[in-house]
Amino acid sequence: MKIPLNQLKTCPINSQIYIDGNVDDLINSIQEFGLMQPLVITPDNLIVSGHRRYKAMNALGWKNAECDVKKIAEKDLEITLVLYNQNRVKVATELLREIKVLYEKLWVGRGKNKGIGGRNPNIRDVVASKVGISSSKIQQLLYIEANQPELLKIIDNDKITINGAYYEVKKHQHILSLSNHKPDRIVPLNNDDLTIYKKSSEVMEEIHDKTIQTIITSPPYYKKRNYSQEEQLGLEKTEGEYLRRLLSVMKECKRVLKDDGSMFLVIGDSYDERGCLRQVPERIALAMVDEGWVLRNKLIRYSTNAKPESGNVKRWSTSYEFVFFFTQSRDYYFDTDKIRVPYTLDFAKSRTAVTPKHYSLTNEDKNGQTQHDYIRHPVGAVPKDVLTMTLNQQDKYVPEDNEVEASIEHSAQFPEKLITPFLLGTSRPGDVILDPFMGSGTTAKVALDNGRKCIGYEINPHFVDTAYLRCASCAGSNTTEKKSL
């Protein structure tokens, strides 16, 4: 039956569950195809299903709407409204409100048994079938709301998936639970080889000037992760404050680095509220050059199996991050043979290869070009500045001592195979390596495995223990140097 629009009433419960969003798409659809489904109303003209259509028809200036009248008890109004919206596209907060309504109305307080004989399905499975998502997604949404509800808005905006947000919250909660966990400190076999200071690296007064040969580190990226530490870098209110603090660490690094030393800074970017790249890596590199550092390479760490992003980001998926190679000057220690890699198959087909033609600056030859024969180096080729890697689960260090520690492995650790060439090419056995953001101890592990010593700084007590645990088996047995892979 047709009912005048001015006689219809919106249901207050609808606005408590669903967001009153834009209906331009619905307006265009109604203009082209007409009203495909009637509104569902109660006998007193209260809309149960069709609030967006009602809004679109008002915008189009319609006077009447086709309606189906249903008798619905007041106590059943909420659940009926939710069930009529099963096919609606919903964001996380809307799903969560639907879930709460269904939990309250469907057999709550009656357990899993209903009546005599037979067994009622688990309440979560029933709710999942009604809202159109898996029961595990329901559990994840409820967990996120209980522990970090601010992430729900980020999920709504398609900046992170429900699954991604759930695991970020889980890691955050484990870090908090570990604040009261005090495991026995595992002391490395040789304290002379490994020293970790549980403090910020903004002041490294424990290290004398010009005593470090190589620095390999990856600071917390801006606005990416929360490690639940008061002094944590990366959660500053502005990019400027983050850069100021990070540059204070870089200033200390410059002080302790030898004149012929090197530094490798692994750093990625993030997006601001506008969806614009903050360009933090570029800003820190330019600032460091202004302070006297020499930027020798801007290496690209490209991951062939990078973590998938939300399908609605409207841009290319991110699969790389920068590794800045800094020195104090042009006169630094660098053993190219330690980082060489096998030649490609095409190059290896012949004993010699020819470099591309280059124009001669002196124009001495008649064609204005010069060409040089190039003999293959017996050890291998100098690697290119794009470091292509396929990372597997075994590339991450996960403590095995207990379930609590195993579930909170450092979420941003870099793989050993990434930094091994950095260390081998710029240091000698016995040299001291520094990591001012130690994390789970990858730099220390690689250093000790290859006959170097290591100093690190880390403010998270759990990661300090993890690093000691990880290095306990290799410290003191570092008399030989491993070859670069």
**Of 33-37, 300-304, 445-449, the least confident:** 33-37
Res 178 pLDDT > 60: no
Higher pLDDT, 363 or 166: 166
Hey, which residues does 39 pair with through a beta bridge? 67
The rounded distance, in Å, linking the Cα atoms of 329 and 296 is 9
**Of 174-178, 193-197, 249-253, 350-354, the least confident:** 350-354
For residue 35, the model assigns a pLDDT of 83
Please identify which residue in the block is written with the tokens 């070009």.
Answer: 369
Residue type, 179: S
- Mean pLDDT over 289-302 rounds to 95
Strands 212-217 and 257-267: what pairing? Answer: parallel
The rounded distance, in Å, linking the Cα atoms of 252 and 203 is 7
Res 200 pLDDT > 70: yes
pLDDT tens-digit series, residues 218-261: 998 887 766 556 677 777 888 899 999 999 999 999 999 999 99
What lies within 8 Å, CB to CB, of 275 at 6+ separation is none
Res 188 pLDDT > 90: no
What lies within 8 Å, CB to CB, of 238 at 6+ separation is none
Supply the DSSP string of 27-51, one letter for each residue: HHHHHHH---S-EEE-TT-BEEE-H
The rounded distance, in Å, linking the Cα atoms of 321 and 323 is 7
What lies within 8 Å, CB to CB, of 280 at 6+ separation is 221, 222, 239, 242, 243, 267, 269, 270
The rounded distance, in Å, linking the Cα atoms of 248 and 123 is 54
Torsion of Cα atoms, 82 then 84 then 88 then 93, to 10°: -10
For residue 405, the model assigns a pLDDT of 38
pLDDT band at residue 479 under the 50/70/90 scheme: very low
Higher pLDDT, 348 or 17: 17
Distances (CA, A) of 257 to 207, 216, 293, 427: 10, 11, 11, 12
The runs of H, that is alpha helices, within 148-234 are 151-156, 162-177
Please identify which residue in the block is written with the tokens 């909170």.
Answer: 408
For residue 147, the model assigns a pLDDT of 86
Among 35-44, 129-138, 273-282, 420-429, name the most confident range: 420-429
The rounded distance, in Å, linking the Cα atoms of 416 and 389 is 12
Q: What would the two tokens of residue 118 be?
A: 């037979």
**Secondary structure (H, E, C), 150-174:** CHHHHHHCCCCCHHHHHHHHHHHHH
- Mean pLDDT over 354-362 rounds to 50
For residue 356, the model assigns a pLDDT of 52
pLDDT tens-digit series, residues 60-91: 999 999 999 999 888 888 888 888 887 778 88
Res 98 pLDDT > 80: yes
H or E, element range at 420: helix 416-426
Q: Give, in degrees to the nearest 5, the angle at Cα 40 between 36 and 43.
A: 145
For residue 383, the model assigns a pLDDT of 92
- Mean pLDDT over 310-317 rounds to 77
Strands 194-197 and 453-457: what pairing? Answer: parallel
What lies within 8 Å, CB to CB, of 399 at 6+ separation is 405, 406, 409, 466, 469, 470
- Mean pLDDT over 409-432 rounds to 84
pLDDT band at residue 328 under the 50/70/90 scheme: very high
- Mean pLDDT over 379-402 rounds to 69
For residue 374, the model assigns a pLDDT of 58
Please identify which residue in the block is written with the tokens 């220690």.
Answer: 333
**Of 147-156, 169-178, 335-344, 345-354, the least confident:** 345-354
When the pLDDT of each residue in the chain is averaged and rounded to a whole number, the result is: 80
Res 424 pLDDT > 90: yes
pTM over 0.75: no
Biggest distance spanned by C-alpha atoms of the chain: 102
pLDDT band at residue 475 under the 50/70/90 scheme: very low
- Mean pLDDT over 436-462 rounds to 92
Res 360 pLDDT > 60: no
**Of 143-157, 282-296, 406-420, the least confident:** 406-420
pLDDT band at residue 428 under the 50/70/90 scheme: very high
Task: Please give the domain boundaries of the chain with CATH numbers for all domains.
Answer: 1-89 (3.90.1530.10), 91-180 (no CATH), 185-333+394-471 (3.40.50.150)
